[in-house]
Amino acid sequence: MAAEVANSVKVKSPVSKVEILPTSEFKEKEVIAKQQFVKSKALNFPGLDSLGIPTGFTVADSSGNTGSVFFFERPTISNETEFTIGQIFKTEMGAANILISQALTTDSAGFSFRPTISFSRGGYWIPLNLGPIATDVSRLSEGNYLFTAYVAVESEIESPIRAMSSSNGRDLLAPPKQVIIRLVMNPSKTRVLSQAVLVVERGGK
């Protein structure tokens, strides 16, 4: 697997909140991330129902393709102070090839989300350097949590190590400019019930 870089954000649930990680040119990126968050809050892309709730485990891209995914649950990590669940989310076929390794942690500080993302080009996974992340979490009427992350992509990470991307999805010629992740968690935040991902390509909408 190619080298991965993880970004993390903190969200005190159930109150919606946006936090941006410190990066270079922090102030400018903070403004951009918040503006993008406001524009994207009313989501409507394949994999979401009319209320914006994920209907299953799906991936879509800004070229209009919808695909199936491989979704793998990692063993949970639990101790006296925190509970972490992790998953691998990967395009199986039908849409842009994307690989997401995500960790969702609940502790005394609230709820945190750490994604590591790669895209496929020329049959190989290319890890991405992630920029600002805007997030939102809300409580649904049945008690589940709806969580959304708008992940900006700054660049690809150059690495001499390359891992083949074994899927029937569509390779990209350039890194995506943004990845939008929306998922539903159970009331105890111990399980992801559904997840829809949109890969926003450069030059796309």
- Number of residues in the chain: 205
Q: What is the pLDDT of residues 141-198, one digit of tens each?
A: 999 999 999 999 999 998 888 888 877 899 999 999 999 999 999 999 999 999 999 9
Q: Cβ distance 157 to 128 under 8 Å?
A: yes
| 23, part of any domain | yes
| 1, part of any domain | no
| 51, part of any domain | yes
| 4, part of any domain | no
Single pTM value for the model = 0.78
Coil, helix or strand for 203? coil
Separation CA 115–CA 196 (nearest Å): 14
The amino acid at residue 98 is I
Q: What is the pLDDT of residues 6-53, one digit of tens each?
A: 444 444 333 333 344 455 555 555 555 544 544 445 688 999 999 999
Average pLDDT over residues 57-82: 91
Q: What is the pLDDT of residues 102-154, one digit of tens each?
A: 999 988 888 889 999 999 999 999 999 999 999 899 999 999 999 999 999 99
The DSSP output letter for 28 is H
**Non-local CB neighbours of 175 within 8 Å, separated by 6+ positions:** 119, 126, 128, 153, 155, 156, 202
| 2, part of any domain | no
Domain that holds residue 14: 9-200
| 3, part of any domain | no
| 36, part of any domain | yes
Token pair 């589940």 is found at: 144
Peptide bond into 14 cis (omega under 30): yes
Q: State the total domains in the chain.
A: 1
Q: Does residue 75 have a pLDDT over 60? A: yes
